[in-house]
Amino acid sequence: MKITEFLFKLITISFLFISPIVVGADTKSHQVFADTGYSTITGELGSENAWVTNIGYSYFLSPYVGLDMGHTNIVSESPQYSNENLDRIDLSYQGFFGGAHIQHPIKNLGFVYAKSGVSYTTLEETNLTSNPNSPIQSSGTHPYYGVGMKINTFMQPNLDVNIEYIHQELEGDYSNSSFLVGASFKL
């Protein structure tokens, strides 16, 4: 099954289940979020670390089900790998993501949540050993999933602190596993 067929079926089925819920959307149904943290990017050349940032928007169809969309990017110095010829390879990526967000309350403390979806990422590999440096770009759509916790801030009721783990597949047999900390603000 092609990825486009799969996405079409997933969106169609999701719409059928979610559309009745939209009518009863939560009054605080809009949120913006920003998360940043430590990431391990793994590929056939090994694993390297980087600092990653996600920014985005969430729309909650009910107090427990929402949709997310946003942007992800490496914000630190790009990780570098060595290939079989001992060439230094610099790696960077950025992308856009969209998916579903399901959360469950924990008393008055906040929520635990899980999210999953697809991301469109552009990965760039640059051979730093050769002159001139020759970047190779590749793009594609891949799944992501994550789990986390939102903690209410009692002094500012519209502000939550987020802690989450996200795993994201990337182009060229690379994957990204991130531990992020951030905030979300209810609009």
Domain limits, the chain: 25-186
- Please give the Cα distance from 93 to 75 (Å, whole number): 10
| Torsion angle defined by CA atoms of residues 105, 157, 165 and 167, in that order, rounded to the nearest 10 degrees | 90
Residue in the block written with tokens 């985005």: 56
pLDDT digits (tens, 9 = 90+) for 22-60: 444 444 689 999 999 999 988 877 788 889 999 999 999
Which DSSP symbol is given to 78? P
Residue 2: pLDDT band with limits 50, 70, 90: low
Give 99-136 as a 3 state SS string. Answer: EEEEEEEECCCEEEEEEEEEEEEEEEEEECCCCCCEEE
Percent over 90 (pLDDT), the chain: 49
pLDDT digits (tens, 9 = 90+) for 116-138: 999 999 988 877 777 667 788 89
Q: What is the pTM of this model?
A: 0.78
Residue 7: pLDDT band with limits 50, 70, 90: low
User: What number of CA atoms fall less than 13 Å from residue 43's CA on the CB side?
Assistant: 21
Q: Note the CATH number of domain 25-186.
A: 2.40.160.20
Paired tokens of 75: 């914000």
98 Cβ contact list (under 8 Å, min separation 6): 67, 68, 69, 70, 117, 118, 119
- Going 149 to 152 to 158 to 160, the CA torsion angle's sign is negative
Q: How many helices (H) and strands (E) does the chain have?
A: 1, 9
The mean pLDDT value of the chain amounts to 84
